[in-house]
Amino acid sequence: MPKNSVDLDQATNSELLDQYTELASLAGGLAHEIRNPLSSISMNTALLEEELSRSDDPRDRRMCKRLETVKQECQHLEGILNAFLQFVRVGELHRQPTDLSELTRTFIESYGPRAEQHQIEISPHLSANLPLVNLDRSLFRQVLLNLAINAQQAMPDGGLLELQTYSRDDRVCLEFIDTGVGMTEDVQQRMFDAFFSSKADGSGLGLPLIRKVVLAHGGTIQCESEPGKGTRFIISLPPHQD
């Protein structure tokens, strides 16, 4: 079991959510202003590449390869921008009483083919008759997806991904446990910071989005990890109150 752990105390929820609200109001408009010229650059690059691809001139072929690089960078920026907009838009929740085990089971069914493609075995241990939790189901499915992608990236050669749900101390809990490369203590301390990523092609917004959604639901998230010994994420949520 990984020994290093980082725990996000629920007492920080209010302060962090206030910061997120301010960030959303300041950055949402800026992100849209960036998207417009970025879309124009991407479209015109694709048109130029299409024209040059018809030529047999070696110079045009070289330019076509360079345009392909520009197009790929535009796609990378578009991905970062989409992740950022998703991050800042987490505000008002559309909550419904939800069986967390059933939501997790449905997610596993949809994610299963992708896991199999990456040689990842999913091992679910989902408790029956859990207390219901109030969830924005769409947002929380994004949490599950981001955690699964994080585990997938930590297991480039495949491995085991275990998902557990259970009730403990009047809380409803979900665990994601992978057998991946694990994280150093330094990375754990920074992994929820916006735009920090230990991956060269990462947006640095996947884990901050998870944290933001969990906090918005009144929950907490804890991470336990150690290099070479995998990672465990533990999400704890308050039960639905009639």
Residue 167 CB coordination number (10 Å): 14
At 48-69, the pLDDT tens digits run 888 888 888 888 888 888 888 8
- Other CB atoms within 10 A of residue 161 CB: 26
Whether 175 has a pLDDT exceeding 60, the answer reads yes
Domains of the chain: 4-8+94-237 (3.30.565.10), 16-88 (1.10.287)
Of the pLDDT bands very low, low, confident and very high (cuts 50, 70, 90), residue 9 is very low
pLDDT of residue 215: 87
Return the minimum-mean-pLDDT range out of 133-142, 174-183, 188-197: 188-197
Q: pLDDT for 125-148, tens place per residue?
A: 999 989 999 998 888 888 898 899
Comparing 40 with 173, which gets the higher pLDDT?
A: 173
**pTM of model > 0.75:** no
Per-residue pLDDT band at 86 (split at 50, 70, 90): low
Task: Work out the mean pLDDT of the chain and round it to a whole number.
Answer: 81
